[in-house]
Structure 1
Amino acid sequence: MLFAAAFTLFTASLVNAQSSSSDTSLGIAAIEAHFSQSGIVPSLLSSFDPSGILNVSYNGVSLTPGQQLTKDQVASAPQITFTPANSTVTTTGTYTLVMADADIVGTDESLGQTRHWLVNGVTVGTGGTGASHIEFLFHFPPYSVSTSGGIPVTQYAGPAPAAGSGPHRYVILLLPQPSSFSPPANLTQPNVGVSVFHLTDYISTSNLGSPVGGFYLTVEEGTATVTPSSTSPVVTSTLQPSKAASSSAPASSGSSTPKTQTPNAALSAQLVSLPLAILASVVGFLVL
């Protein structure tokens, strides 16, 4: 009975791994395209090469990149998950989660961005505490991004653009904190109010790693009295799978050595490791 259950979970896990690999690759390519299309790259970030997908949802409703919402819809902090590009991308260590207002398309980002959320010491989890031995071993992404044990430098403050100022872009990034992480003195303690800062300066001076995931949404209040720079829509049907799915550096904050693995190799690694996981789970149950 126990072995049958383990085999069923093993089979389901393989199907899940195969179907999700392509979706993740295209999802990464999509967010890269959206960051370029919206002007976030290169106006705010000089480049953006994520190693996974950051999924953002408000009140249980998952968003699409650039989706326009009202102030009421984004009043409370969102739920965030991270899906690595492949099995070489680890999620150990701690991260910084930040949300900044990049204003409308065409904004001079050298003037700074309004900081709406900044949490250091964020972790990326692998399932709930109530999971059984087998369920835990067979847990697959997306993984929850947890701020509960972190330092809320700036508590979440919902977007509130000025009336008539146009559709503001609110950028959310997940960045690894290496051992050399050292934020500026004025942004180390909890409960620092919302204010303007330079996002890229903060990233570089704090020694944060490159974003492993990113997302943006838009919020507009009233009728715009300004005209944002023009953009062209992202045509998802023309996207090619992201290179991150075949060659990506670990998202772990403690490593700087890239690992390369093709999607098939990543799946092969899972094929090898999953039977061992089954054995370990069975042994665990027999011991208990």
Structure 2
Amino acid sequence: MLLTTFLSDVFYGTTVITPGLMVKKSTAAKQPTIGVTGQTLSGTYLLAMIGTPRGTVLHALLQDFTPSGATQNGSSLLTTKATAPASYFGPAPPTETPKYPHKYIFLLHKQPANFAVPAAHKGAVQQRLGINWLKFIADAGLGAPVAANYLQVQSGDNS
């Protein structure tokens, strides 16, 4: 079970993502800014963005996030130059009838020294499909997330 008491602050430009916020596909097209409120982070972090419920799609797995020293809306921002192990791609739920909201979960983990994608998960990370995140956490030596958040995008929202 994954438990965290801290919210990951997710910003798409000036749009602040509160848990479960419904946004347009176009709002979440570019990689967001990530931060935390209410805790002081030091060290290096790994961010995963996972889409559900129609299977598990890895929308991002970005390493080497560190505190930037900057703030936005009271949030201490994190930054990375990494585009790996899996670069960001925005939500793109399929057109469905009836329309159905798809959830996109952000999980921020403390990154172990010498982090590498475990061999058993390289295929799922490269293909971005079917990743078992709980098994990935165990195999990669990650702890529980230090912060989490999620947003929703309506299926068929092509704007």
**TM-score of the aligned structures, taking structure 2 as reference length:** 0.81
Given the alignment, which residue of 41, 44, 51 partners 1:101? 51
Q: Flag structure 2 segments of 5+ consecutive residues without an equivalent.
A: none
Could you tell me the percent identity over the aligned residues?
A: 30
Hey, which of these two has a bigger chunk of strand by percent?
Answer: 2
Aligned residue pairs, count: 151
List aligned pairs for 1:103-142, cutoff 5 A: 103=53, 113-127=56-70, 142=75
Could you list the runs of 4 or more consecutive aligned residues of structure 1 that deviate by over 2 angstroms after TM superposition? 178-183, 185-188, 191-196
Question: Whole-Å Cα distance in 2 between the matches of residues 68 and 80 of structure 1?
Answer: 18
Describe the shift of the 1:154–1:193 C-alpha distance in structure 2 as closer, same or farther (beyond 3 A). farther
List aligned pairs for 1:94-243, cutoff 5 A: 94-103=44-53, 113-127=56-70, 142-148=75-81, 150-164=82-96, 166-179=100-113, 181-185=115-119, 192=126, 194-222=128-156
Match status 1:92 vs 2:46: no
Question: Whole-Å Cα distance in 2 between the matches of residues 59 and 179 of structure 1?
Answer: 31
Amino acid in the other structure paired with 1:147: T
2:138 aligns to what SS in structure 1?
helix
Describe the shift of the 1:151–1:71 C-alpha distance in structure 2 as closer, same or farther (beyond 3 A). closer
Q: Is the 8 A contact 2:121 2:131 kept in 1?
A: no
Tell me by how many angstroms 1:71 deviates: 1.3
Question: Whole-Å Cα distance in 1 between the matches of residues 65 and 19 of structure 2?
Answer: 22
Tell me by how many angstroms 1:180 deviates: 6.9
Q: Highest relative contact order (Cα 8 Å, sep 6+), 1 or 2?
A: 2
Q: Is the 8 A contact 1:181 1:208 kept in 2?
A: no
Amino acid in the other structure paired with 1:93: G
Amino acid in the other structure paired with 2:25: K
Q: Is the 8 A contact 1:153 1:187 kept in 2?
A: no
Tell me by how many angstroms 1:124 deviates: 2.1
**TM-score of the aligned structures, taking structure 1 as reference length:** 0.47
Q: Flag structure 1 segments of 5+ consecutive residues without an equivalent.
A: 1-45, 105-111, 129-140, 224-288
Match status 1:65 vs 2:15: no
Q: 1:267 matched to which residue of 2?
A: none
Tell me the C-alpha RMSD between the 2 structures: 2.6
Which has more radius of gyration?
A: 1
Q: 1:48 matched to which residue of 2?
A: 3
Hey, which of these two has a bigger chunk of helix by percent?
Answer: 1
List aligned pairs for 1:77-88, cutoff 5 A: 77-85=31-39
